[in-house]
Each structure stands twice: as structure tokens, then as C-alpha cells.
Structure 1
């Protein structure tokens, strides 16, 4: 079966009313919907995130840093495509101005780090790439698709007084106290195929029509298909919005001429 198993994850900051096509089970607040990475492609994780409250201020290490720490290749770079946003919804990404490690530590301890971030008001179609070491936080009222390196290493710097563990030493050691590069964020036009990410760890495209030869050349071999509208097939298996599927290659995908989807694929590291 091409369609990946789906896992709904309940979170205290999740939502009990989800945007279509999802539906939260009665009495549950769903914060994340994961698609289990297939054995053929363990490098990538795709998930939806639905936040009714602000998530922690956090950062992630790079592959180089986790390898140096003896943790293997466990770095995490990620990207976000906003699909739903309530009035006032925002994402905190990077600092308004450069900040040193000790000042960042002090701000994490007294909570002012939240106000040192740049909070970007968001609407559906906004896209952000988040390099490793970027200090960031998802605000309340946001629904998004996250495509990331498959790592669960998160260093929380501040959590609004919630009784969860912080990771100040590890987080400050890897966090960059700098603004987010404006080249790594944009608002997508409503229609049209677009290259969203082209390395260094994965590539991601929005495809609004059957792929041409140039796109096929960029996506050799196995890939993940994430329908956004319409119905697709992977070797005969129907794949709909709210699902994610593994395809052996683009030729295995039957595209919906009137549909839209995301496709993703890891980029093999050099060496």
C-alpha cells in the first residue's frame, strides 16, 4: 500500500475543531497529524500542526552538531506551509537584532525571549524555511504543513511557564542569535507549480499540473506525495487530501489535472 499510516497526536495546545478534511475525535485536542516515515525513506517526516496556543520557543541542532556530540546524523531543518490562520495568527522566527549567547540565556530565563523574536503575521499560502539553529515558535491559531528532516531533537528555551523540561545548555550552545533571512520566506501565489526547497537536505515542490520533463529530472527515484486538492493515484492506490503516500518515482503517480499537491524527496548528503 502506497498511503502512509497516519497518527493523530493529542496535545494540550491542539485544536478540537480541525480544518477539512480532518476531524478531531470527540473530546480530543489534536496538535499534530504524522505520517509514519516509510522504511524506504526514513530521512523525511511530514506532518500537519494545529496550534490553539503558542508552542515553546525552541531550536534544533544541525547534522554536524549532532554527529560531533555522538548522536549520529540527527539534525533538523524544516519548512512550514501555512494552510489555516485565525485572526492575529503569527509565527516567531529569528531575532529582531543580533543577540549574544549570555543575553539569550538571560532572556530565556526571564521570558523576554518571546518578545525578542520577530513575529510574522501569517495567512494561508505563507511559506517559511527554518534552518537548523534558528530560534522559533509557532503561535496560536495556526495550521500548517511541516516537512522536516526526520529528527526528534528539540531544545526548548522557553515555554511560557508550562511545567515541561527546558534544555537551556544544549539550546544556547547551538542557537544562532540572528534575524531570519528574508530570502527564506515568501507568500505563494494561489495557483502554479513552484519549487519551494532545493536542498541541502530535501527538496519540495508544489505541483498544480502534471509534471514536465524538468520537474521529472529534479525528482529521480522515490518521493512523497502530499495532495492538497483533487484525487491522485500511486500505482492504483487513491491518495486524497489529508493523506501522504510513497511513490517509487513520478511515473507511478497519476496526477489530477485540476488538483494540487506537494512532492518531497530527501537530498543525499555528500560523502
Structure 2
């Protein structure tokens, strides 16, 4: 069985004034995110499209144990970003240039110099970044991406460019990993198939369907299908960029069309 997921458009101060095709423009608001409602059979994962005209806040998320210990939720948030489009010179921040003390991080967050302590990675379409819980990160302006994450929205902001939004320095200090971003967490969709994340919470792979073939799922159970480009048909259900669907099992049927597809499944190593 395959079923498309309903979507919700979310206004953000750093969003864009007009969404690119094939997305509709639901209002005159600046839309920053499009959320796909997690299905009951796969409610531990959430898929979003993110559109940033300005830098997002510098932030970090707790892991499962930290979220529970802090009484803010039962799940933490690890995520993966797959870059859809990026303006020339656009960047995302992940990790710090070097190790330093938590007190130094707090002072840098207060005076804004934390921006210069982060590593800003120049990005282009098809780049991917795994952002485990605790990684201090920020999405830069001029970037649109697909985010696959644990179904949790706990965010602790360290710095927000003077925007009138709450910061969470004490909580962020408890969860932030202070140090460089591991090189192995960055990857790229080169070729027709590969694995972007094989972590404790989810596996994310990419696969190009160039005809008619079966889904290359690894885990036994449901999966989320997110088109990166092109279109496919599965059991007469058409799926294209800007949509997300859930398939219940390996027997979803043959996939036909020409599409670069992201496939997300939960893993059992938590």
C-alpha cells in the first residue's frame, strides 16, 4: 500500500516570500517550512522542506536521554539535511572550528561571536549533512533543503541575530557538543544509489528509478518516499517533488518513471 501524506505550510521570519514550483503559495506570509504529517505506522520520523531567505538561529537539539531527563519530551532530535538548491556561496553551519569550554560558548552566544566560531560549509544541490542530536548548527540564507528527522521539535536557541524570540542558553549548554563536525557526517548524492545516514534512529538512502523496478528497502517494514527530482508511479499512484508518501512494506509494487528518490526508514538500534 502507498499513501501520500498531507502537508502543512509553516510561516517563519526567515522564510521566503514565494515558494518555488511545484509548491502552491498558500498566503502572503513568508513560508519557511512544509511539513508532511507522519503516518501512524511511521510516527517516529518527520519530513520537511525548508526554504531559508535568511540565516536560521544557531541551535542544538537534545538526544533521547537528555529530552527525558529534562522533562521536555520522550524523544530527542537527530536529523539529516539534503540540499535541494543553494544560491552561489550559500552555507550551512555545523560544528565548531575547535574545542573550547562551555563557558566560552555561552559568552560567544551572548555577544554574537559564536557565528565566527562555527564552521560554515559552502553547499550545493545534492550535498547531505547528518546532524546528530547535540550538534550546534544553523541553516544559511539562500538554501532550500529536505530534512528527515526524528519526530520531535525541541529546539534550544543559542543566538538569533537580535530577533525577538526566546533563547535557551541554559538548556543548550546541557546538550551542545563542543568541537569540530565529523567529516564522515557529510556526504553527497553521486551516482544512482547510496546511503546518506545509517544511524541509531533512521536510515536514509537515495536511489534513482530509471525504468521499472522494486524499491531497494533494507529494513522490513514501512518507509517514507521523498522525491528529490523527477516523477514515479507506484501502483498507479504518482509521486513527484514536493510530495511525500508512506509505503507499508516491500510489496508496494514496481516503481516506474525517472526519479531520484529518498527512502527513509527507522532503525532498531536505539
Q: TM-score band (shorter)?
A: over 0.9
Tell me what 2:46 maps to.
45
Deviation at 1:228, TM superposition (A): 2.3
Structure 1 pair 40/168, CA: closer, same or farther in 2 (3 Å)? same
Tell me what 2:140 maps to.
139
Query: What secondary structure does 2:167 align onto?
Result: coil
Q: Unpaired segments of 5 or more residues in structure 1?
A: none
State the Cα deviation string for residues 197-252 of structure 1 (Å, max 9, x = none): 11210011111136679x34x13111111122333334433222210011011321
Tell me what 2:227 maps to.
227
Query: What secondary structure does 1:61 align onto?
Result: coil
* Residue pair 2:84, 2:126 contacting (<8 A) in 1 also: yes
Tell me what 2:37 maps to.
36
* Residue pair 1:2, 1:234 contacting (<8 A) in 2 also: no
**C-alpha distance in 2 between matches for 1:17 and 1:131:** 31
**C-alpha distance in 1 between matches for 2:26 and 2:62:** 34
1:251 maps to 2:218 = no
Tell me what 1:163 maps to.
164
TM-score (norm 2): 0.93
Q: Unpaired segments of 5 or more residues in structure 2?
A: none
**C-alpha distance in 2 between matches for 1:254 and 1:4:** 20
**C-alpha distance in 2 between matches for 1:235 and 1:258:** 15
* Residue pair 1:156, 1:168 contacting (<8 A) in 2 also: yes
* Residue pair 1:226, 1:263 contacting (<8 A) in 2 also: yes
* Residue pair 2:202, 2:265 contacting (<8 A) in 1 also: yes
State the Cα deviation string for residues 148-170 of structure 1 (Å, max 9, x = none): 00101000000001110000000
Tell me what 1:198 maps to.
198
TM-score (norm 1): 0.92
Structure 1 pair 224/201, CA: closer, same or farther in 2 (3 Å)? same
Deviation at 1:27, TM superposition (A): 2.2
- What does 1:116-131 align with in structure 2 at a 5 Å threshold? 116-131=117-132
Tell me what 1:265 maps to.
265
**C-alpha distance in 1 between matches for 2:207 and 2:121:** 26
State the Cα deviation string for residues 93-123 of structure 1 (Å, max 9, x = none): 1000112110000000111111110001111
Answer with 244-253 or 33-42: which moved more.
244-253
- What does 1:27-176 align with in structure 2 at a 5 Å threshold? 27-176=28-177
Structure 1 pair 66/211, CA: closer, same or farther in 2 (3 Å)? farther
Query: What secondary structure does 2:62 align onto?
Result: coil
Answer with 101-110 or 225-234: which moved more.
225-234
Structure 1 pair 137/182, CA: closer, same or farther in 2 (3 Å)? same
* Residue pair 1:2, 1:246 contacting (<8 A) in 2 also: yes
Structure 1 pair 173/85, CA: closer, same or farther in 2 (3 Å)? same
**C-alpha distance in 2 between matches for 1:193 and 1:247:** 19
User: Cα RMSD over matched residues?
Assistant: 1.8
**C-alpha distance in 2 between matches for 1:76 and 1:264:** 15
